[in-house]
């Protein structure tokens, strides 16, 4: 390794916030489109490629990774009126397409090929919704990894494409009227989130705003139409990870708006059948519970509790076959229960192993439930469950040439700095030759109530196949143990998350799984913040880190893109008390000259319209400047001009990026353990 040849201009901008002077030497890198920034990105990318492309283990890693990723992949089906619609990417294809399948004729039809839309491999398509009679499909078109999408329509039965197009924007739910004459949609406008109605065949300028006036851009508003089409359930989220939501029911026949709940600091979600509303909430129940009420004639105090809070955390509630299916977590492992509408337990659906349910789908008037399940050693598998017969079958299983017996999976619990017991999964290769510590990746997230469960990942499978160990820590800030667990790692308690991660690493080294020189840490988005903070607070903890699509400048984060959504989670530097908390852990403001920081690869891209890529750019420059040993521990920027936060990578890029991550880590923490087996 050689000293980073990329020279980065330092141009200090000083500002005083709440009486404290803040210096920012790389604010000029916030301008993504300036010629200076573009030239800097080009030079950084050339440096990164010079170190990664020449590695001798690249061919071996590519062979392993390609077998894991280049396979047929199918998404969860949406079924209406004997028609199934789903996404599918065949082996060798760069992006997935949308297909339909007739249960009556057993005929599969290719509906939408993304390559034929824009004639490039960066275009990806997703199912937005399917009408009750399966005669109208709404689908979204995205470029690269952008969050923004364009909505188009097609008749799955005739393959007739409709002329209606909802323009490129950030959408929060699309619902189709039962007679297919119009769609309700949530959209983020320049004035804030709104719910609108589009009558098919009319100009978009005539779309009517039904709800949202007065709500600012820090809120999210999502509509969902009842299957009868009479009620539009409107959910207002007070930002991502917030502790408050509102529910309203809009009568599509009379235009009457009825408040379900808007004055309780808790999260609510609902489902309407007739005039009955089912409500899942953490109101006075941090692990979740389910109520039933009547629209317009019952207040929260008059709702009937039908599923009580338990020691298991509710992940999702689905309403299928005139009954209720509840997916829960018990010590971070998924369970699935079938209840009657009155809350009587009908069945527990058996899972194949310790793993994760990632999504559940079905209709109130259908007997079939579909759910996707995976684990560290089990590729994504979609099951169909017949609610009357109580039988389940594999609907689709990703065929990957891998021996599940190779994986040894254990769950441990370790004490954090304050004594809180934290769950930790450790995945190892049971047939790896040799004893003692192994090169290990520690992954974490810890935010927004997001659950990090034992699920399939190509990078985990590849790393373990090569002989390394992979650990996943279930940090506070997530939702693995309900809202209490989430609240313990947000705002002024965010340091708990970093402490949980630090003590996970210490536990792994103390118990002989790895050493500090053989340890890498990895996280993305909020997990990128976690990695950045860990590097700043404990530079000696690990030898390498991958910091993907991260938040790192916590003083200015809320000024860019959609970051106002996250103020309920982190706070804002505009508030004096929250500023003090943010400054104390903001990675960009806590790097010190001369420290022996680990080697870091920052991952981001131009198309990230969620977390501004400026965080990774500025932090790359800062660490390169302050690093005490840049030749042995290089700081790299892995930058894509096509991909972003929301996925959408081509098959080639998925493989290449995964190979890059593993090759980088091998170059830093392998010590000839993995590649010589």
Whether 370 maps to a domain, the answer reads no
pLDDT at site 642: 75
Question: Domain of 500?
Answer: 402-669
Residue 579 lies inside a defined structural domain of this protein: yes
Where are the alpha helices (H) located in 85-239, listed in sequence order? 115-118
Domain annotation covers residue 417 = yes
Name the pLDDT band for 2 (thresholds 50, 70, 90). very low
Report the pLDDT value the prediction gives residue 1, as an integer from 0 to 100. Answer: 36
CA distance 483 to 546: 28
Structure tokens at 607: 């198309």
Q: Answer yes or no: is 122 within a domain.
A: no
pTM of the model: 0.96
- Total domains in the chain come to 1
Are 370 and 358 contacting, i.e. CB atoms less than 8 angstroms apart? no
Q: For residue 468, tell me if it sits in a domain.
A: yes
Q: What is the pLDDT of residues 377-386, one digit of tens each?
A: 999 999 999 9
Domain annotation covers residue 576: yes
* Predicted confidence (pLDDT) at residue 651 exceeds the cutoff of 90: yes
Q: What kind and span of H or E run contains 168?
A: strand 161-169
Residue 32: is its pLDDT beyond 80?
yes
Q: In what order do the strands lie in the sheet with 333-339?
A: 313-320, 323-330, 333-339, 345-349
Report CA Rg, the chain: 25
Residue 464 domain flag: yes
3-state helix, strand, coil in the chain (%, to 5): 20, 35, 40
462-510 tens-digit pLDDT: 999 999 999 999 999 999 999 999 999 999 999 999 999 999 999 999 9
Question: Can you give the CATH number for the domain in which 500 is found?
Answer: 3.40.50.1820
| Residues whose CB is less than 8 angstroms from the CB of residue 49 and which lie 6 or more positions away in sequence, other chains included | none
Flag whether 81 is in a domain. Answer: no
Q: In terms of Cα–Cα distance, which of 132, 124, 157 is closest to 78?
A: 132
Dmax over CA atoms of the chain, in Å, equals 72
User: Taking residues 11-40, what's their average pLDDT?
Assistant: 97
């Amino acid at each position: 390794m050689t000293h980073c040849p990329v020279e980065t201009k330092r141009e200090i901008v000083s500002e005083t916030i709440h009486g404290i002077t803040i210096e920012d030497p790389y604010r000029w890198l916030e301008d993504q489109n300036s010629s200076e920034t573009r030239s800097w990105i080009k030079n950084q990318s050339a440096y990164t490629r010079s170190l990664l492309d020449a590695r001798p283990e690249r061919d071996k890693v590519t062979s392993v990774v390609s077998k894991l990723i280049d396979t047929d992949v199918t998404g969860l089906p949406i079924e209406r009126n004997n028609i199934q619609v789903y996404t599918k990417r065949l082996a060798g294809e760069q992006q997935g397409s949308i297909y339909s399948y007739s249960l009556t004729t057993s005929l599969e039809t290719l509906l939408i090929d993304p390559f034929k839309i824009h004639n490039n491999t960066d275009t990806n398509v997703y199912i937005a919704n399917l009408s009750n009679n399966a005669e109208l499909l709404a689908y979204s078109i995205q470029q690269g990894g952008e969050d923004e999408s364009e909505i188009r329509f097609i008749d799955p039965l005739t393959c007739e494409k409709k002329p209606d197009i909802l323009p490129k924007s950030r959408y929060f739910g699309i619902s189709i009227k039962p007679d297919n004459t119009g769609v309700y949609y949530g959209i983020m406008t320049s004035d804030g989130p709104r719910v609108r109605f589009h009558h098919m065949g009319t100009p978009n300028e005539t779309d009517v705003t039904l709800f949202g006036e007065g709500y600012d851009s820090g809120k999210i508003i999502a509509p969902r139409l009842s299957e009868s089409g009479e009620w539009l359930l409107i959910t207002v989220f007070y930002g991502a990870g917030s502790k408050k939501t509102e529910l309203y029911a809009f009568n599509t026949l009379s235009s009457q708006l009825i408040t379900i709940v808007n004055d309780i600091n808790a999260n609510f979600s609902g489902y309407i059948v007739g005039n009955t509303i089912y409500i899942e909430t953490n109101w006075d129940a941090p692990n979740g519970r389910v109520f039933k009420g009547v629209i317009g004639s019952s207040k929260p105090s008059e709702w009937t509790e039908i599923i009580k809070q338990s020691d298991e955390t509710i992940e999702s509630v689905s309403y299928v076959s005139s009954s209720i299916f509840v997916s829960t977590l018990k010590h971070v492992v998924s369970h699935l229960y079938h209840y009657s509408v009155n809350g009587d337990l009908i069945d527990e659906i058996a899972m194949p192993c310790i793993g994760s349910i990632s999504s559940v789908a079905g209709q109130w008037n259908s007997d079939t439930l579909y759910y996707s399940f995976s684990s560290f050693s089990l590729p994504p598998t979609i099951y169909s469950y017949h609610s009357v017969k109580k039988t389940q079958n594999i609907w689709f299983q990703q065929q990957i040439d891998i021996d599940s017996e190779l994986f040894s999976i254990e769950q441990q619990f370790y004490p954090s700095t304050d004594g809180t017991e934290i769950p930790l999964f450790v995945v190892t290769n049971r047939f790896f030759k040799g004893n003692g510590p192994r090169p290990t990746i520690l992954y974490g997230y810890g935010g927004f109530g997001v659950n990090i469960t034992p699920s399939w990942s190509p990078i985990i499978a590849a790393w373990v196949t090569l002989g390394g160990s992979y650990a996943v820590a279930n940090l506070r800030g997530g939702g693995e143990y309900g809202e209490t667990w989430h609240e313990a790692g947000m705002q002024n308690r965010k340091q708990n998350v970093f402490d949980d991660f630090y003590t996970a690493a210490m536990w792994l080294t103390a118990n002989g799984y790895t050493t500090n020189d053989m340890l890498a840490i990895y996280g993305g988005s909020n997990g990128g913040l976690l990695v950045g903070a860990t590097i700043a607070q404990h530079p000696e903890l690990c030898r390498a880190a991958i910091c993907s699509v991260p938040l790192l400048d916590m003083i200015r984060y809320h000024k860019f893109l959609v970051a106002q959504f996250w103020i309920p989670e982190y706070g804002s530097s505009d508030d004096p008390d929250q500023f003090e908390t943010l400054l104390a852990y903001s990675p960009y403001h806590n790097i010190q000259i001369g420290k022996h920081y680990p080697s870091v690869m920052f991952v981001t891209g131009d198309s990230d319209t969620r977390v501004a890529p400026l965080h990774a750019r500025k932090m790359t420059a800062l660490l390169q400047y302050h690093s005490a040993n840049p030749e042995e521990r290089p700081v790299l920027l892995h930058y894509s001009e096509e991909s972003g936060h929301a996925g959408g990578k081509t098959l080639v890029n998925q493989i290449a990026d995964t190979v890059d991550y593993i090759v980088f880590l091998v170059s830093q923490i392998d010590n000839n353990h993995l590649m010589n087996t």
